[in-house]
A and B are shown apart, each in its own frame.
Chain A
């Protein structure tokens, strides 16, 4: 049974009765959802979820995750505008395989404000879906795509415009969503020449991309909300698809996440200036004001030392490693390195730094399920010397996203961890030359 979060429709699929009871209570308290009594999925997902804008899907059905993963995949294929959010006690079970963008962990603050969390994730999914379509449009063009894009943008804009009651009920700050509706209106309602549309679309995409990156970052701050490997990959693809290489480089700041946001807003500002100078009609100069500055997180930007991780043998445009082939991984402690496709710099906290200085060396250990790592340990000097590099070889055993962790260890106790997701692909895919970027994971 599908419930309505006016003007959106939601559907809840819960496997565990006790959990269902808790969610039903939560949903009732908002007066928005009609709780789904027959939520335990044993029958046909598709019929039950037909027409829903967002589906809250228990990741574990009858003790396994397979059926939920398959169902989510199918639900999203059937309707790319549809948002599927996994709700689970054990996010790590599906974080790598999930076709959905977000996971909510049960019984955390994310589920304490279940409806508003679900709403925010749904809107984010819809923007991502719109951006993916726009990205296709920019790269492939085509009238049909353009019409579909405009139709989808209009639908989302209309729904958001009708959401004021909902937003009040679920205590979500309405301003940001009103701005989003205005932005969508600017694109969909403004008279335009088809020849000029590509420029406007790209400008629009950059603003949306900015919003998505900022929103995803904020959503990650909600305890119990997890982003999936698929989402991280999707955002990377959107950045590389919508922006030129030079523009994309401008996104890279001191810190991979925070720095990117700070530099991004500067970048958008300069781009807007260029766009304003070129545009023949008054389009969206007022939209410059909608670009929010995101302040860097103090601890990260001011970190004295960074743990740098990089694959020295990989060209910039290759963002994966090959199954069965050792890939060299370098680690050092020093100032942040320039960010590339296969690198990461993460600030070392003051607490961890003080622990590092309690000894005259620090061990580096790389943990990577799904791959063999040699050696098991390397050692770096204290005080840190950026010239000293700890080298490892990572040999993946299977395709897919691998969850690599680089740990700093003092007296065999971990004091800092930098996680890093990396994709492993089959070797036969290497022979396909320039089309590499389009090869799907094995």
Chain B
């Protein structure tokens, strides 16, 4: 198991061969030997890639990983229900918006002061830190004991302190993993000690195992795109000579579907490599197909309407379609089924074709427009893997605007989906 520096990998444009930090969470139960009552718990199983660059990992590697296979650790976490944890995150997020300084996040894109940013992030930091400690710090491995357990625990802490590609399998899908927070230097009595970059969503690439997403990784060197951009919501954020869409359009690689009818028709027979939606979107909670929609020009395309009016939609003809659903709310937490538009497109006749980034909370239009430009530039122009493009777009919005809402974008698919290198596939040398 070799540790490869992500930047080297990206520069060399070779497929990434990095081992994932694998997390498997299963709801389970066991009989208490004293009370004979059944106790529910979450079994956590980790596969931790170890890097000799970090002392705690090096020590664990020397003790337990002589054959370079990584560290396998398993332990129970009692009294945990992941679905309930999601609700706590939703509440913490609502508290962020309610904060006196939080209205700026909800309504527009104004640069916050660092002090204000830290102040409004307190509820999320507390919630994220609490869950992180319960899941990964206060643990008693079942397959290690004594000094070994301490070494293992330190190695886990070390590995999660720096960049990882995290792969998660869990009974509870669409969990807000980006909000987990870990910083050993954080002091909860000092707001100033908050370092926002220590949210998982700013530190790691995160891939959740989801049914219905594409297993394929390669997007052709000159990708084509369908862009459904709502003219009511867009204030020119998708134009300009340096916008990747302009470059696509100049080469006739971009097809616009400005109305719900055109969008429905496009989804009915989708031949392009990428899909972009920008506009209002929502779903009820819990979701209902007739109330899960994408909106263009004030017209709603609901799941039910898509089913009824465009009988064969979705019909994606490519093995991999990379999509960004850039609406107010395109996917709810915890619900991965066909009642939401994103679930419907992935799971209903989608035949495992989509790899997409979706929003799991409210995003103001201006933020969404700017975020999308960063994301697509990374993905289409720099040809970064989608997980890396998402991470960089989040970080860019945090650095440039001190705005953490990039955490609300989640990846549904494999982090390594990537536009192929031109040199390998296009002898004419044409490039974006």
Q: Measuring CB to CB, which residues of chain A are less than 8 angstroms from any residue of chain B?
A: 18, 22, 89, 92, 105-109, 112, 223-224, 351-352, 355, 358, 365, 367, 369-370, 375-377, 379, 397-398, 409, 411-415
CB pair B29–A398 under 8 Å, yes or no, is yes
Given A377-B47, A412-B22, A413-B207, A18:B288 Cβ within 8 A: yes
CB-nearest residue of chain B relative to A349?
B215
CB pair A413–B338 under 8 Å, yes or no, is no
CB pair B20–A413 under 8 Å, yes or no, is yes
CB-nearest residue of chain A relative to B17?
A411
Complex Cα distance, B41 from A370, in Å, reads: 11
Complex Cα distance, B347 from A224, in Å, reads: 11
A–B pairs, 11, beta carbons within 8 Å: A18-B288, A367-B45, A367-B169, A376-B47, A376-B72, A376-B73, A398-B38, A411-B17, A411-B19, A414-B169, A414-B209
Given A351-B215, A398-B29, A412-B70, A376:B18 Cβ within 8 A: no
B101 vs chain A, min Cβ distance (A): 36
CB pair A412–B47 under 8 Å, yes or no, is yes
CB pair A105–B69 under 8 Å, yes or no, is no
Q: A223 — which chain B residues lie within 8 A by C-beta? A: 338, 347-348
Q: A379 — which chain B residues lie within 8 A by C-beta? A: 69
CB pair B26–A367 under 8 Å, yes or no, is yes
Given A223-B338, A376-B143, A413:B72 Cβ within 8 A: no
Residue B49 at the A interface, CB < 8 A?
yes
Q: Measuring CB to CB, which residues of chain B are less than 8 angstroms from any residue of chain A?
A: 15, 17-22, 24, 26-31, 38, 43, 45, 47, 49, 69-70, 72-74, 143, 167, 169, 171, 207, 209, 215-216, 286-290, 307, 337-339, 347-348, 414
Given A22-B288, A223-B348, A376-B74, A108:B338 Cβ within 8 A: yes
Across the A-B interface, the 5 shortest Cβ-Cβ residue pairs: A412-B20, A412-B22, A376-B72, A107-B339, A369-B28
Complex Cα distance, B31 from A6, in Å, reads: 49
CB pair B72–A412 under 8 Å, yes or no, is no
* Contacting residue for B215 out of A22, A112, A355, A369, CB 8 A: A355
CB pair A109–B348 under 8 Å, yes or no, is yes
Q: A107 — which chain B residues lie within 8 A by C-beta? A: 287-289, 337-339
Q: A375 — which chain B residues lie within 8 A by C-beta? A: 72
Complex Cα distance, B30 from A375, in Å, reads: 19
Q: B29 — which chain A residues lie within 8 A by C-beta? A: 370, 398
Q: A367 — which chain B residues lie within 8 A by C-beta? A: 24, 26, 45, 169
Complex Cα distance, B287 from A206, in Å, reads: 44
A364 vs chain B, min Cβ distance (A): 12
Complex Cα distance, B68 from A379, in Å, reads: 12
Complex Cα distance, B40 from A369, in Å, reads: 11
Q: B38 — which chain A residues lie within 8 A by C-beta? A: 398
CB-nearest residue of chain B relative to A22?
B288
Complex Cα distance, B29 from A106, in Å, reads: 27
* Contacting residue for B337 out of A105, A370, A411, CB 8 A: A105
CB pair B339–A369 under 8 Å, yes or no, is no
Complex Cα distance, B143 from A377, in Å, reads: 12
Q: B70 — which chain A residues lie within 8 A by C-beta? A: 412
Complex Cα distance, B348 from A18, in Å, reads: 23
Complex Cα distance, B18 from A397, in Å, reads: 36
Q: B45 — which chain A residues lie within 8 A by C-beta? A: 367, 376
CB pair A369–B289 under 8 Å, yes or no, is no
Complex Cα distance, B16 from A358, in Å, reads: 11
CB pair A108–B43 under 8 Å, yes or no, is no
CB-nearest residue of chain A relative to B340?
A107
Q: B207 — which chain A residues lie within 8 A by C-beta? A: 413
Complex Cα distance, B73 from A367, in Å, reads: 13
A105 vs chain B, min Cβ distance (A): 7
A233 vs chain B, min Cβ distance (A): 21
Given A107-B288, A351-B215, A370:B28 Cβ within 8 A: yes
Complex Cα distance, B307 from A112, in Å, reads: 10
* Contacting residue for A369 out of B19, B43, B143, CB 8 A: B43
CB-nearest residue of chain A relative to B24?
A367
Given A105-B337, A377-B47, A369:B24 Cβ within 8 A: no
CB pair B348–A412 under 8 Å, yes or no, is no
CB pair B69–A377 under 8 Å, yes or no, is yes
Complex Cα distance, B72 from A414, in Å, reads: 15
Complex Cα distance, B18 from A105, in Å, reads: 38
Given A351-B216, A367-B24, A398-B31, A412:B338 Cβ within 8 A: no
Q: A108 — which chain B residues lie within 8 A by C-beta? A: 337-338
Q: B18 — which chain A residues lie within 8 A by C-beta? A: 411
Complex Cα distance, B143 from A367, in Å, reads: 15
* Contacting residue for A352 out of B73, B143, B215, B288, CB 8 A: B215
* Contacting residue for B72 out of A18, A355, A370, A377, CB 8 A: A377
CB-nearest residue of chain B relative to A352?
B215
* Contacting residue for B49 out of A92, A365, A412, A414, CB 8 A: A412
A110 vs chain B, min Cβ distance (A): 10
Complex Cα distance, B288 from A398, in Å, reads: 37
CB-nearest residue of chain A relative to B167?
A413
Q: B169 — which chain A residues lie within 8 A by C-beta? A: 367, 414
Q: A370 — which chain B residues lie within 8 A by C-beta? A: 28-29
Given A107-B288, A376-B72, A376-B143, A412:B215 Cβ within 8 A: no
Q: A377 — which chain B residues lie within 8 A by C-beta? A: 47, 69, 72
CB pair B21–A412 under 8 Å, yes or no, is yes
Complex Cα distance, B428 from A122, in Å, reads: 61
CB pair A412–B30 under 8 Å, yes or no, is no
Given A369-B27, A377-B69, A397-B31, A415:B215 Cβ within 8 A: yes
Q: A112 — which chain B residues lie within 8 A by C-beta? A: 307
CB pair A411–B216 under 8 Å, yes or no, is no
Complex Cα distance, B288 from A22, in Å, reads: 9
* Contacting residue for B19 out of A224, A397, A412, CB 8 A: A412
For A18, A413, A415, the residue with the greatest tally of chain B CB atoms inside 10 Å of its CB is A413
CB-nearest residue of chain B relative to A92?
B171
CB pair A411–B20 under 8 Å, yes or no, is yes
CB-nearest residue of chain A relative to B16?
A411
Complex Cα distance, B70 from A409, in Å, reads: 13
Complex Cα distance, B47 from A415, in Å, reads: 15
Q: A411 — which chain B residues lie within 8 A by C-beta? A: 17-20
Q: B28 — which chain A residues lie within 8 A by C-beta? A: 369-370
Complex Cα distance, B414 from A352, in Å, reads: 14
Complex Cα distance, B18 from A355, in Å, reads: 14
Q: B22 — which chain A residues lie within 8 A by C-beta? A: 409, 412-413
B78 vs chain A, min Cβ distance (A): 15
CB-nearest residue of chain B relative to A373?
B74
CB-nearest residue of chain A relative to B349?
A223
Complex Cα distance, B303 from A107, in Å, reads: 10
Complex Cα distance, B385 from A142, in Å, reads: 70
Complex Cα distance, B18 from A8, in Å, reads: 59
B15 vs chain A, min Cβ distance (A): 8
Complex Cα distance, B19 from A309, in Å, reads: 26
Q: A92 — which chain B residues lie within 8 A by C-beta? A: 171
CB-nearest residue of chain B relative to A19?
B288
| Supplied contacts A107-B287, A369-B26, 12 more A-B pairs, CB within 8 Å | A22-B288, A89-B286, A108-B338, A223-B347, A351-B216, A355-B215, A367-B24, A367-B169, A375-B72, A376-B73, A412-B49, A413-B414
Complex Cα distance, B209 from A351, in Å, reads: 16
For B31, B72, B338, the residue with the greatest tally of chain A CB atoms inside 10 Å of its CB is B338
Q: A352 — which chain B residues lie within 8 A by C-beta? A: 215
A26 vs chain B, min Cβ distance (A): 11
A113 vs chain B, min Cβ distance (A): 11
For A107, A367, A376, the residue with the greatest tally of chain B CB atoms inside 10 Å of its CB is A107
Q: B72 — which chain A residues lie within 8 A by C-beta? A: 375-377
Complex Cα distance, B339 from A92, in Å, reads: 17
Complex Cα distance, B43 from A92, in Å, reads: 17
Complex Cα distance, B45 from A375, in Å, reads: 12
Q: B19 — which chain A residues lie within 8 A by C-beta? A: 411-412
Q: B216 — which chain A residues lie within 8 A by C-beta? A: 351
